[in-house]
Amino acid sequence: MNSGAPDRQIPLAPNTRVFGHIDRQIDINRIVVPGFPVSSTGEFMRGHGTYFRNGELHASLAGSVRQVNQLINVQSIKQRYSPEVGDVIVGSITEVQDKRWKVDINSRSDGHLLLASVNLPGGELRRKTVEDELAMRDYLVEGDFISAEVQQVHHDGACFLHTRNLKYGKLGLGLAVKVPSYLIKRRKAHFHSLPCGVGVIIGCNGMIWLCEQISEDVDGGYNIDLAARVPEETLRVIARLHNCIRLLANHGIHIFETSIMFCYDLSKSHGTQELLRNDLAAELADQVIQQLRAGMEE
């Protein structure tokens, strides 16, 4: 019971409609909107995101112009997540079907997780029996969160996942944060144990999982103790990280462990719930961008 803390005044959010104004130093000339002419001569080939009109190429999407030799295409900034082989995914089970689960991965269609692609208790090389098929619900039910890797993507877009590695599997006590997927870069590692003491899984599909620690479970997360108590300090850190990730997402900053840690360290001077204020968030976002730029220039 939080009876000791004095009542805080309800913060009045300043009347900023946009998430605060920051100067990103973006070259406006490189970004186009639909209808904008992209090439003046007719010698270029039409790529994705463009169309011909009156002998000129115009953009049909809002995005940046890319040119490869004679091919011009426009790459949109905001796109739906499309899975590629090797991506780490954090998703939730939507259906339990015959020998497979359907997983919501924030993409155009659900991913498939075959029974043959998971690690069940008893070791990795265990043969899947008929009892396993009937007991699928004992392992993963609708709504459960999992971390998995994309095994293959079919030509029709169907994506197959697997958890055949000790680090993947069912996720237990923790918090999922959904951010736009285009803010997540593909990196070497997506599982991080941050120096502040919590574990984070950055899924390429835009779902980020915050938990007490990253554990490698032989049983693939089968035996999760949901009654375990999370220590107070961890709750505090996860709350701050949650606000930091929201802040990064709202201001369009790429989310990876460096940017998260920069934001976390810079936010230490403010209370966690002050990060909910738009003006403070904009200031912090500005500082994070400058620090990232300084880091890149080194």
Site membership for another protein, residue 251 (CB under 8 A) = no
Rounded to a whole number, what is the largest CA-CA distance in the chain?
73
DSSP string, 231-252: PHHHHHHHHHHHHHHHHHHHTT
Instruction: Check residue 229 for interaction with another protein (CB under 8 A).
Output: yes
- Lay out the site mask for another protein across 187-226 (x = CB under 8 A, - = otherwise): -------------------------------------x-x
Our finding on whether 10 is near another protein (CB under 8 A) is: yes
State yes or no: residue 28 binds another protein (CB under 8 A). Answer: no
Closer to another protein by Cβ: residue 14 or 195:
14
Using CB under 8 A, which of 194, 276, 287, 291 touches another protein? 276
29 secondary structure, DSSP code: G
Encoding tokens for residue 143? 């709504």
- Specify the amino acid at residue 54: N
Which are the contacts of 142, defined by CB distance < 8 A and separation ≥ 6?
93, 94, 95, 96
65 vs 244 by CB, closer to another protein: 244
For residue 25, what is the DSSP state?
Answer: -
17 touches another protein (CB under 8 A): yes
45-46: strand order across its sheet: 31-32, 63-68, 71-76, 45-46
Q: What does the alpha-carbon distance between residue 104 and residue 98 come to, in Å, rounded to a whole number?
A: 17
Q: How many residues line the site for another protein (CB under 8 A)?
A: 51
Binding mask 96-135 for another protein (x = CB under 8 A): --------x-x-----------------------------
Residue with tokens 């909107």: 33
User: Which residues form the interface with another protein (CB under 8 A)?
Assistant: 1-2, 5, 7-15, 17-19, 92, 104, 106, 142-145, 171-178, 224, 226-227, 229-230, 232, 235-236, 238-240, 242-243, 250, 271-273, 275-278
